[in-house]
Structure 1
């Protein structure tokens, strides 16, 4: 089975062709960083227009690199949400049009599910496993029980971690995109110099909160008479230390709940996915946790952590294997929770804060 994947949910225009044995024949990613950099973040209208301008060319390049044409395909998978709705509409419309013209199966892929299943493409992970999904728009920890079967354990109550990275980098004058710049600055910093808070540390449950950490950075800067490069490096390092401590604590609690609910006595597979999963310091913190909690820690290759179409194609393959496909009247979704029953279990009527937000840092 060969599937063409399309990804247009935020600020990467991507097309990929993947085979059902896990072979990635092509994975073309066109970044829009230069277009958004003057504004310090992703501008939805600019992102949508850029997808419209470049998607055809990216698809042609994906076919060229794969050495195949439309007649070799079995299906087309496009991100159907959540995300910036203008961009999602571009990808879904293109995918449905090609599927109709070529009489191919069409799958509308949940962007979060694509991240959740990437580890089955890169590492052949088996169900069930625990997933920490961290990006500019999402911060969640979920039990992944099967394709389309997810249980949300916790999500952010305010900022996603990637969003907090970007906002902190902006406060420190590090530019955009903020996450990688903040990580570089932290390399020469002293994490013990500034005492930044660790929100939700030790609290019951598995929810996250990062807005207070970002506010503490601003207050720390306000107390300094003159901000030096060493001050910036030390604050960046302290930010990383706090974020890592929070992730370790929340994941430790999630592991305990996962063991109980899934009846697992032995090793648990902990997967980290999403753009922030590329952060080496956070990966190291989770690797340390794995050593103390009898975990198999798995992180996809960095190129598959950030938004890309190979993960979308693979999620499409997972659904097509089960005989699942979508009608061509599928409507793009700005919000699309992986666990729609989570609201009921939490006793809330509103969508959870983290569901469907996309943008900012990757």
Structure 2
């Protein structure tokens, strides 16, 4: 069979899309069933690599090896969760970027091989679109246009979503991603890795006004983000011997304030009320509460779909699968730096 000719049968009443994400240090395989055009997550199997805790951050070569060792077992877990067999799969999708290129190659190559072996189409997907679809899938009646804030360890981007699959970049971080800043400040405070949950827990015992930290990009007309200044201020505060729990609370407060206030300004300028917030940092309770009090109509993914996972990649592939596209992305290569859209400027 010629792989380029593989396509989904338009007569199939139920589609089973298998999604793979190995963009960083989580090995994710998810399965989405699409019936009458409606997607439903049946499985979301995930292995979070604990080995990186000893390094205080992700070691790319180690992450790649962990993906290779674990991906077969995670696929089996996903099939058991979904209650189906491999022969039921009607399409395979995998992340092509952005991410750690070695890690991406594991999932992308595995997905292509799996699709060819099964004789089904293969879709190479964008990691950020997966995060966005994890939230959108929970809110099928979300009006257009709306905003999408993707905030994670490697990404802090604000998009205007004009139609399904049509994105316009509104703002992005000029330096560190928010999740990266959480990791680095947690390491300064000796709280361990990953930093997001550790900072959040410590912040519960601290005073968010206890340490004076700078407000990033104060007075800007654009809708960008910056967290390197806060990170540097935290380092100076640690050297000055401030209370670590107060510093954790103050740091979290400033980051959340920046994310919410910048998104609010963008929404007002563009005349938009609805925003989806996704990515690993979207699991942060303080962020969710702040958006809930922001006056915006805020929508989040379920908690188990916030971090990197395979189910979100399957969800991102739904629109391709429903079109019964005859082209499969066999030639797609892993790309460490892959923009969802180009900056307008």
Tell me the TM-score normalised to structure 2 length: 0.91
Q: Which runs of 5+ in 1 are unaligned?
A: 347-362
Partner Cα separation in structure 2 for residue 191 and residue 92 of structure 1: 42
- Say which of 275, 281, 285 aligns to 1:276: 281
- Indicate the residue corresponding to 2:333 in structure 1: 331
**Does the 8 Å contact 1:6/1:312 carry over to 2?**
yes
Query: Structure 2: which 5+ runs fail to align?
Result: 1-14
1:318 positional shift: 2.1
- State the alpha-carbon separation in 2 of the partners of residues 209 and 90 from structure 1: 32
TM-score (structure 1 length as normaliser):
0.87
Alignment RMSD:
1.4
**Gap change, CA 1:152 and 1:327, over 3 Å in 2:** same
Deviation per residue, 1:267-319 (Å, 9 max, x gap):
x21110000000001111111112xxxx3111111111111111111111122
1:314 corresponding residue in structure 2: 315
Match of 1:188 in 2: 205
Residue range with higher mean Cα deviation, 326-335 or 157-166: 326-335
Following superposition, the deviation at residue 194 of structure 1 comes to 1.3
In the other structure, the counterpart of 2:262 is 250
- After superposition, residues 135-284 of structure 1 pair within 5 angstroms as 135-224=152-241, 231-259=243-271, 268-284=273-289
SS in structure 2 of the partner of residue 30 of structure 1: strand
8 Å contact kept, 2:278–2:306: yes
C-alpha displacement of 1:2: 1.0
Aligned to 2:110: 94
DSSP-derived class of the 1:122 partner: coil
Question: Aligned to 1:244, what secondary structure does the other structure show?
Answer: helix
Inter-partner Cα distance in structure 2 for 1:322 and 1:37: 42
Q: d(CA) in 2 for partners of 1:286 and 1:26?
A: 29
Question: 1:122 deviation in Å?
Answer: 2.1
**Separation of aligned partners in 1, 2:239 and 2:136:** 46
Give the Cα separation in 2 of the matches to 1:148 and 1:326: 18
Structure 1 stretch displaced more, 278-287 or 208-217 = 278-287
Corresponding residue SS for 2:317? helix
Q: Would you say 1:10 and 2:24 are equivalent positions? A: yes
Residue 356 of structure 1 aligns with which residue?
A: none
Q: Contact 2:22/2:95 (CA < 8 Å) preserved in 1?
A: yes
Larger CA deviation: 232-241 vs 126-135: 126-135
For the residue of structure 2 that corresponds to 1:22, the secondary structure is strand
CA distance in 1, matches of 2:308, 2:282: 11
Segment of structure 1 superposing worse, 68-77 or 314-323: 314-323
CA deviation after TM superposition for structure 1 residue 147, in Å: 3.4
Verify: 1:305 aligned to 2:306, yes or no. Answer: yes
Name the counterpart of 1:69. 85
**Secondary structure of 2:92 counterpart:** strand
| Equivalent of residue 288 in structure 1, options 272, 290, 293 | 293
Where does residue 358 of structure 1 map in the other structure? none
Which residue of the other structure, out of 127, 130, 139, is the alignment partner of 2:147? 130
Q: Is the 8 Å Cα contact of residues 147 and 319 (structure 1) preserved in structure 2?
A: no
